[in-house]
Amino acid sequence: MALLEIEQLAAGYGRHDALKGVSLTVGEGEVVAVLGANGAGKSTLLKAVLGLLPARSGRVLLGGDDVTCIGTAGRVARGIVLVPEGRRIVMGLSVEENLLMGAWGRRDRGALRAEIDAIYQRFPNLAERRRMRGSVLSGGEQQMLAIGRGLLAKPRLLMLDEPSLGLSPRLVGELFRLLVDLNREGLPILLVEQNTRKALAIARRAYVMELGRFVLEGSPDELAVDDRLRDAYLGGGGSAMATHGSESALAGAGAHTGQGLAAQALTNGPPGERSGP
């Protein structure tokens, strides 16, 4: 049985339908990618799954239970967690206070302390800066913090919206290795990402969205031979499998890939410069 099922979901803003009857599934243990250009409706999809945007029609099911009419807080409590585009950390709060925001609905304080310590082990830079404000963090460190905050919400499904945005190429590689690690630990992931090659390298299945509809769907192998995907998102002649073949290298990364991301973040510069090499 699928963990997440979206059935003919429509949602939008004002009179505009940004989602036009889309259907999608995420199985237990899967990484599923949603690809497409800016304005295709990818972020709207995640907002609708989380309940930030009400459904105009269709259904959202989690573990077979219909959550379409349940509010955002109820969906988070049931395990749907979003790491939003732009990280959305609170700059005036400390690193640890930002982490604790992800655990706002939890009552198991003993287990929570152990999980925070585990996040600090995964991201040593965050441990060193735990009492510092979020405003002093680099772009890579802010992304670590946003992911750590999401993990403290105890997700059954982790959704990420453009997590590589604004990161240097080295940090992007470390980020995707981290996602592989999390998935290998059993966490299903729904990934919205413009970096098509990186997304296909770790996804089991992918959907391509255009103007609020899915126009392609399949495994990375199936999509790699589709001329429409290759021409629109992979630069024509290149094969996605040149990157998909790197999945084994990603999956073989050690348990401390988060430490590599933390170390790389130190050289990533201030947020205004974080797209540099």
148: in domain = no
Taken in order 223, 226, 228, 233, the sign of the CA dihedral is positive
Distance CA 223, CA 163 (A): 22
Distance CA 89, CA 141 (A): 11
Going along 204-257, which residue ranges are E strands? 205-210, 213-218
Asked whether the beta carbons of 58 and 10 are under 8 A apart, the reply is yes
261: in domain = yes
How many folded domains does the chain comprise? 1
Q: Which range, of 34-43, 87-96, 185-194, 259-268, averages the lowest pLDDT?
A: 259-268
* Nearest one of 261, 272, 236, 62 to 172, comparing CA atoms: 261
193: in domain = yes
pTM of the model: 0.81
Cross-strand bridge partners of residue 57:
10
222: in domain = yes
Model confidence over 56-82: pLDDT tens digits?
999 999 999 999 999 999 999 999 999
- In this prediction, residue 168 has a pLDDT band, given cuts at 50, 70 and 90, of confident
Asked whether the beta carbons of 199 and 35 are under 8 A apart, the reply is yes
149: in domain = no
Model confidence over 173-188: pLDDT tens digits?
888 999 999 999 999 9
Q: State the CATH number of the domain containing residue 48.
A: 3.40.50.300
Mean pLDDT on 209-237: 81
Please classify residue 25 by burial: count the beta carbons closer than 10 Å to its beta carbon, then call 0-12 exposed, 13-18 middle and 19+ buried. middle
Range of the domain at 197: 2-91+155-273
Which contiguous run of DSSP H or E holds residue 164? none
Between 257-265 and 169-184, two packed helices, what is the crossing angle to 10 degrees? Answer: 150
* Nearest one of 177, 167, 203, 207 to 188, comparing CA atoms: 203
Proportion of the chain above pLDDT 90, given as a percent: 58
126: in domain = no
pLDDT at position 43 is: 94
127: in domain = no
Asked whether the beta carbons of 180 and 222 are under 8 A apart, the reply is no
The number of angstroms, rounded, from the C-alpha of 229 to the middle of its chain's C-alpha atoms is 21
Cross-strand bridge partners of residue 210:
213
Strand ranges across the sheet with 65-66: 16-27, 2-13, 57-62, 65-66
133: in domain = no
